[in-house]
Every structure is written in structure tokens, then in C-alpha cells.
Amino acid sequence: MGPVPAHPVPALPPLSAIEAGAAVVRLPLTVRFRGVTEREALLVRGPAGWGEFAPFPEYDDGEASRWLASALEAAWEGFPTPVRTSVPVNATVPAVAPDRVRDVLAAFGPVSAVKVKVAEAGQSLADDIGRVAAVREVLPEAALRVDANAGWSVPEAVEALGQLEPYGLEYAEQPVPGINGLAEVRALLAARGTPVRIAADEAVRKAEDPLRVARARAADLIVVKAAPLGGVRRALGIVRKAGLPAVVSSALDTSVGLAAGVALAAALPSLPYACGLGTGALLAHDVVAEPLVPVRGALSAERLAQRAMADPELVQRWAAPEERREWWLERLRRCHAVLAAAETGQRDACH
């Protein structure tokens, strides 16, 4: 079981209160993403609003419990005070064929930056180059970043980024697994004169010590997600301590979950890059009346709690089958137990 962060809400709400306001939904996607065509999420309602618990199925309870902590922060405590009212976002292009790129981008509207998925299992570097080239053709002036989700080896990453760099890459997100791998890729690119910045994603949110990336000088910037890091306030603390520029990203969330990401981006003291929070455009349907999708390349950070209120009719329309509801509720119970044990340990340590 993975490590559990400090719990971000003043006190862990009782399981009965969480279950009383819980709903499980299954939403269709507009395009295959992360190998799925539907996205499931458990929504919780508390005194401060709604939160989303939607760790991917393969995550163990230790890792998934951080997502629950984030959902409870949103629903029971709310979000910190923002320092900006608008958050610039990038479009996201999944590992589609080049001839589908234009249609995918059209769903996002005008954007200044695009993240392109690369290193997809079963695809080749030629596929990646074709996809990036298609994006560059559609948006000649956009900032391009690629995301390999740790899918390359070190030699593959150096070769791939060398061939992709002429398209004008802003940065490469998690090209290889682990902090040591990132540091090696970064050093090799510098030695070859390949000017591609390295961004750490999984190496931050999946690490026992998220700050190791900064200490190892393994990245030029970090990608942070509110849910995997245990909530907005904990993510803000990690960015502050890391001392590196940050990009806020989402995890294919509904608008309820996206609200936490927007709140995080809106609360950061500095936001030098467009954020990966436009993934609501990949959902064919949502659970709120007015989904959090980009308008002219940005998301409004105003009235987030109100705008992330799940619509009962939409929740009912997209309710997951009963067996999936039970699966999610059982996962909720296990992760609540993990958080309860951590809370008890913290309390004992203070006495």
C-alpha cells in the first residue's frame, strides 16, 4: 500500500455522511483516452459543495486514498482564495491518427497551447511524429508539449525528442519512468544540444517524496494534479517547496473534479504555462448544467463551488450500473479506512 499524505480537511467526515451524499456516474468520451471510452467517477456532496473521487481502477488503496482526501477537501472545506480569475488551458490530443487531429482540436476552440499524447502502447515514433506534425499544421503558432506518460526508455526518449524538437516543443512531460530516468534524459538532451525542457508528472504525484524531483534537478518544471496529491492545499505546499514552475493538469475529470484543478491553478502565486485543464472537452456529457470547458482558451475561476454543483437529473441519467456503484462504494470504504488510520497516527504522534 502506498504512502498517505497528511489529511487536508480539519477532521475526516464519518463514512456514513460521505455515503449519504455519494453518487456514481459513467460518462461516455468523445474519443478513446487512456485506453477507455467511458469514465466512471464517484461524486460526494458535503457542506461546502461537491467533490469527485475517481482514481483509475489500477491504483491501490494507498494511492487512491489521496484522491478521496481531495474530494473531501472540496466537499467539506472548499477551496482556498484565488489570486486570479482566469486560467489559461491547453488542448489535449490523445493518441489518435493524424487525420483526426483537426476534429479533436475543434472541440477545444481557440487555444494557445496543445498537449499531444505520445509513446502509446502499440504505436511507433512515426505515429507520434505524424500526430505532432498534424497539430503543428493546424495550429502553427501554438505552444506544443508532448506527454509520454513514462512510456519511453531513456534511449528512446532521447531519440524521440531529438526528432520531435524541430516542431517547436515547449516541454516533454514525463518521457521516462522515475526521477533518475528523468535526470538522465535531461542531461543527455543538454549534452546533445537538444533544447527541450523536461516536466515531471508521475515522478511527482506517485513518489513517496514528491520533492525529490527538485532536489535531483531532474526536471525544469513540475506537473501537478489536485486529486493525486491529496487536494488543492497540499498541492500548493508541494509547489511552494519544490521551487519550480508548475503546470496544473487534470485526470479526465468531470466538471466537479475539474473545479479542484482550476482552484489550484487560480491559487498559485505564479502560472507561467497554460494548464492541462481543458479535458472536459473530451467528455461527450457531463454532470453539471454548464460544464467547465474552455472559452477562448481559458477557464473562469469564479464561483467554482457553485458551478461545480452536480445536476441531479444528469447524475441520474448517467448513473453507473448497480454493480459498478457497489464496486465504487466498497473502494470508498477501504480508502476511508486508510485515511482514518492515517488521521489516528497523526493524532497519536502529536501526544
Q: Which residues are catalytic?
A: 117, 225
CB 229 within 8 A of CB 209: no
Cell reading at 119: 509513446
Q: Which of 223, 277, 234 is nearest to 252 (CA)?
A: 277
Residue 31, classed as helix, strand or coil, is strand
- Tell how strand 169-173 and strand 143-147 pair up: parallel
Would you say 169 and 178 are in contact if contact means Cβ atoms under 8 Å apart? no
147 marked ligand binding residue: yes
Question: Could you say which DSSP state residue 82 is in?
Answer: P
The letter for the amino acid at 95 is: A
Sheet holding 169-173: strands in order across? 91-93, 113-117, 143-147, 169-173, 197-200, 221-224, 246-248
C-alpha cell of residue 46:
458535503
What is residue 46's three-state secondary structure? Answer: strand
Give the residue from 13, 54, 51 showing the smallest Cα distance to 36. Answer: 54
Closest by CA to 188, choosing from 218, 231, 228, is 218
**d(C-alpha 39, C-alpha 255), whole Å:** 12
What stretch of H or E contains 36? strand 36-46
- Kindly give the pairing relationship between strand 36-46 and strand 23-33: antiparallel
CA 75/CA 73 separation, integer angstroms = 6
Binding site as annotated, residues for Mg(2+): 147, 173, 201
Binding site as annotated, residues: 147, 173, 201
